[in-house]
Structure formats: C-alpha cells, structure tokens
Amino acid sequence: MTKLQSRLYDLIFEAETRDGRRFDLILIAVIVSSVVVVALDSVASLNESYSMLFLGLEWLFTVAFTIEYLTRIYCFPKRWKYIFSFYGIIDLLSILPTYMSLIFVGTHSFAVIRAIRLLRVFRILKLAQFVSQQQILSQALRDSRAKITVFILAILPIVLIVGTIMYLVEGETNGFTSIPRSMYWAIVTMTTVGYGDIAPQTIFGQFLASIVMVLGYGILAVPTGIVSVHLSHAILKSQSNTETCPSCALEGHADDASFCRRCGSPLELA
C-alpha cells in the first residue's frame, strides 16, 4: 500500500481520526442533500419549474459519489472484500440509478436508496452506545431467525385451515370469494391489523373470527420472546468500537483488539 492509499484509507474509513470524522460529516450532509433533491424532484409543481436545476444537481451528486466509491476501492487493501461488503454494495447501488436513467426512464427516482448510507452516521458521529446497540440488535435477529422461521412455518397451516373454513362458512356473498382471499383475511385478523375490507357475517364466522383475534395476541408474543432471549445473550458479548477491518471491512471491535474478530487480520495497516 502506497503512502497516498494509506492516507486516503485513514481519511475515508477511520472515523476515529479528526480528518476522518470531518470527511464523513461532509459526506452525510451531501447524502442528505441528494436525497432531498430526489424527493423534491418528484413533486410535479417543483419539477415543472426547476427540472433542469434538479437534473444538474442530481448528476453533480452522482459524479461526486462515483469518485468517492472509486476512491474507496482504490485505497482499501482487499478491494473485493469492500466491493461485496454491506456498505460497498449500498455505495454502488446509490450511484447506479442515475446512470440507469440514461437507458430506462424514471429509474433515477431509486436514488433515494442513498438514504441507507445514513447508517454511517452511527460510526461517523462516534456514538459508541448506538453502534453497540445496532450490533446487539443485528446479532439477536441473526441468532433468532431459525426459530422465527420455524414459528412462521407452523403458523401457515393454521392460516390455511382457518381460511378454508371461512370460505366454506361465509362464501362469496360475504366477500370470501376464494381460499387465498380467505387466507388473506385470516392473516390480517391474526396479526390484529383488521383492515375491515371483508368481515364475517354469520354467527359461526364471527365466533371463529373472535377465536382468531384472541389467538393473534398470543402468537405475536412468541417471536417477541424469542428475540428478547437472544437479545439478552447478544448484550453479554457486545462490541462497542467503530474501527474497520482493512481485510474484510467488518466494523465493531473491542477497544483493546489488535486483530479482526471475524478474519483474524491485523486491524492496523502495516
């Protein structure tokens, strides 16, 4: 790694330094500005009056983000690791819509995906408590996904059975025109959303609906409990550092860590 690459890496990827913090704060301001421009451009009255201004600003932001993205690739030690990392993919997706608009009309509106880049604010502002909480929540969701998947698969037969019964009991005259539509009603009722677009009219249908509603409260408590258990486990092993691994682009290490907790590479550049 050359001296220039090392300097750029410290500036772009390290929020711990004064210059890195300043650079990232400017980046956040530009991201917010670009998202605002895309949002305002979707307002018909503003688009009629300032369409050329919005277009110019959009291309200005896109060129700036493109330069930034290419610079990140240039100065990162293992470039493919960054390209396929979470932030690497988001950085790429944030510039593609404008270029795609040259071929496909209207795709520039997808540039609002740049708002996802605002996740960097947790690292940029060095809000360690928020960084750690983000990592804890992510870890809890990853650990509980298998149990939640099994839970959802167990709910599907109930939805199918209830939907089928309601289709047979209520019929097309009461809005239950098919089993899939009746299953839709069962899902809406079980999740306590209750749009009210279709509702049972018979006594038995209303009785069954009452059971599904009560059952829904109990069902909602199950995934909450699963995540809560894993959340408590994740808190015990949480990390609170914002340093980025130069090898695999993983963020979040212990303050006294010298090596990456995922790939084992040194956290400091040689």
Written as one letter, the residue type at 13 is F
Share of the chain above pLDDT 90, in %: 19
Enumerate the domain spans of the chain: 3-125, 134-236
Give the pLDDT confidence score for residue 164 in this predicted structure.
93
The parts of the chain modelled with pLDDT lower than 70 are 15-16, 106-112, 118-136, 230, 233-243, 251-256, 269-270
Give the pLDDT confidence score for residue 186 in this predicted structure.
92
Question: 3-125 has which CATH code?
Answer: 1.20.120
Give the pLDDT confidence score for residue 112 in this predicted structure.
66
Give the pLDDT confidence score for residue 63 in this predicted structure.
92
Give the pLDDT confidence score for residue 71 in this predicted structure.
92
Closest by alpha carbon to 242, among 139, 120, 142? 120
What pTM does this model have? 0.55
pLDDT tens profile 134-172:
666 777 777 777 777 877 888 888 899 999 999 999 988
Give the pLDDT confidence score for residue 206 in this predicted structure.
93
Residue 245, H or E segment: none
Dihedral angle sign, alpha carbons of residues 81, 259, 87, 73: negative
Give the pLDDT confidence score for residue 9 in this predicted structure.
85
Question: 134-236 has which CATH code?
Answer: 1.10.287.70
The first and second tokens of residue 186, run together, are: 């069962």
Give the pLDDT confidence score for residue 128 in this predicted structure.
47
